[in-house]
Structure 1
Amino acid sequence: MGYNVAIDGPAGAGKSTIAKLVAKEKGYIYVDTGAMYRALAIHFLKKNISAENVEQIVLACADADVTIAYEDGVQQVYLNGENVTGRLRGEEVGNMASRTSSIPQVREKLLELQRGLAREQDVIMDGRDIGTNILPDADVKIYLTASVDTRAKRRFDELKEKGQDCDFEAIKEDIKERDARDMNREIAPLKKAEDAILVDSSEMTIDQVVETICGYCRA
């Protein structure tokens, strides 16, 4: 039986960054859901199915198995036993993943695969509904957040570092809108699970957040 850690929280809270660092520190598998969607996309492309052919996409989900492993500290993604890591970032794969990820049966297939991984491996997952929907029985549930100003400042600094022009107030408003959408969406809205531990990273460094979350996990 795997040991499971769920990290939920709003956009810009640093969930993926923190989850990857905790995974490295504790030896867990970081479940990269985006990579899993792309692996499924490769499966559909191999079968020469059009993204518009929802019926065939749904049927193809039946014989797709996606797993994640770490080899020499590097994430490897396998589709039906074949390592497809090198193909995940292809433009055709990205387009197929984008167009099929909204199909309910594709999301259900991914949910089944994620829960299967969690049963067999020690995993950490991050998202909007991990502790409330995907892994409701996770051993540790964290709700990672930060003030809107803090999240906007982080995004502002990130864009500036890339040499992009940006407006702090516009970024702040965008984050507020995303929060509202995520919290009020009909399917699996963002909310803190009743048994989740609240971690507010507004005044914390990345190392402090990682140390705090690792402290809640088994030694």
Structure 2
Amino acid sequence: MARQQVSSNKKINVAIDGPAGAGKSTVARLVAKALSYVYVDTGAMYRAATWYMICKEIPAENVEKVLQHVPELVIELVPDPTGQKVYCNGEDVTTVIRSMEVTSKVSQYSSIAGLRTRLTENQREMAARKGVVMDGRDIGTTVLPDAEVKVFMTASVQERASRRFKELNGADDITLEQLERDIAARDKFDEEREVSPLRCSEDAIVLDTTHMGIQDVVDTIVSYCAAKKDGEISQ
């Protein structure tokens, strides 16, 4: 698909949701670049909060103590020539928040209502001026329900596990089979949690990327944005 440029100068917000390993962050970053928009990695924000609580030795089960420390959290997403940097209370945590320890626990912390409320407020502030591409699990349904373009990216569990396995490149001692089990378990947890569960917004465009290349996915979403701004599609 040929890349389609957005013809109007009017900025919109783009919400990209989907399960773990669907490639949301990679695609959202490239879509933001193609549109000259700001990319907001909400997953990185929850990972940073999770990393912080782990460092403080506060388990997700101790909700009261987690909430006591939420007000001191300062999470920043900073553009960088090599990609977005993530800072937590002034410390660069871009790499450490991708560890398997954080990955295995982030769903537990992100299900805590008070923590989600705090980060959701931050995310809405970032999107207030429009021109934002934001990815996560509840962007189109909860964080930015009025986003002009909503996309729900998905792929088979096997494909998502394979992608994550390649990303890790042996960095963690885990097999492909274990990743498949972990991703399936996380899907179930995210779909069944009481606070902002993973679900597809009724007005979202569902995009199965199992057999699509990254650039094809990016071009498809950019074309949706162009059509929306030109009035060819409506919410």
The answer to whether TM tops 0.5 is: yes
Q: Within 5 Å, give how 1:61-76 maps onto structure 2.
A: 68=77, 70=79, 75=84
Equivalent residue for 1:116, pick from 117, 120, 125: 125
Match of 1:215 in 2: 223
Match of 1:175 in 2: 183
In structure 2, C-alpha distance between the alignment counterparts of 1:22 and 1:101, rounded to whole Å: 25
Where 1:149 maps in the other structure, the secondary structure is helix
Could you give the per-residue CA deviations for residues 69-100 of structure 1, whole angstroms, max 9, x where no partner exists? 64768646799xxx94x544598xx99xx798
Any stretches of 5+ residues in structure 2 without a counterpart? 1-9, 51-55, 230-235
Offset of residue 208 of structure 1? 0.5
> What amino acid is aligned across from residue 12 of structure 1 in structure 2?
G
Aligned residues: 204
Match of 1:185 in 2: 193
Match of 2:7 in 1: none
Where 1:217 maps in the other structure, the secondary structure is helix
Equivalent residue for 1:154, pick from 155, 158, 163: 163
- Decide whether aligned partners of structure 1 residues 166 and 40 sit closer, same or farther in structure 2, where only a CA change above 3 A counts: closer
- Decide whether aligned partners of structure 1 residues 217 and 162 sit closer, same or farther in structure 2, where only a CA change above 3 A counts: same
In structure 2, C-alpha distance between the alignment counterparts of 1:100 and 1:180, rounded to whole Å: 15
- Decide whether aligned partners of structure 1 residues 217 and 34 sit closer, same or farther in structure 2, where only a CA change above 3 A counts: same
In structure 2, C-alpha distance between the alignment counterparts of 1:177 and 1:50, rounded to whole Å: 24
> What amino acid is aligned across from residue 5 of structure 1 in structure 2?
V
In structure 1, C-alpha distance between the alignment counterparts of 2:175 and 2:143, rounded to whole Å: 35
Match of 1:24 in 2: 33
Any stretches of 5+ residues in structure 1 without a counterpart? 42-48
In structure 2, C-alpha distance between the alignment counterparts of 1:187 and 1:55, rounded to whole Å: 15
Q: Percent identity at matched positions?
A: 47
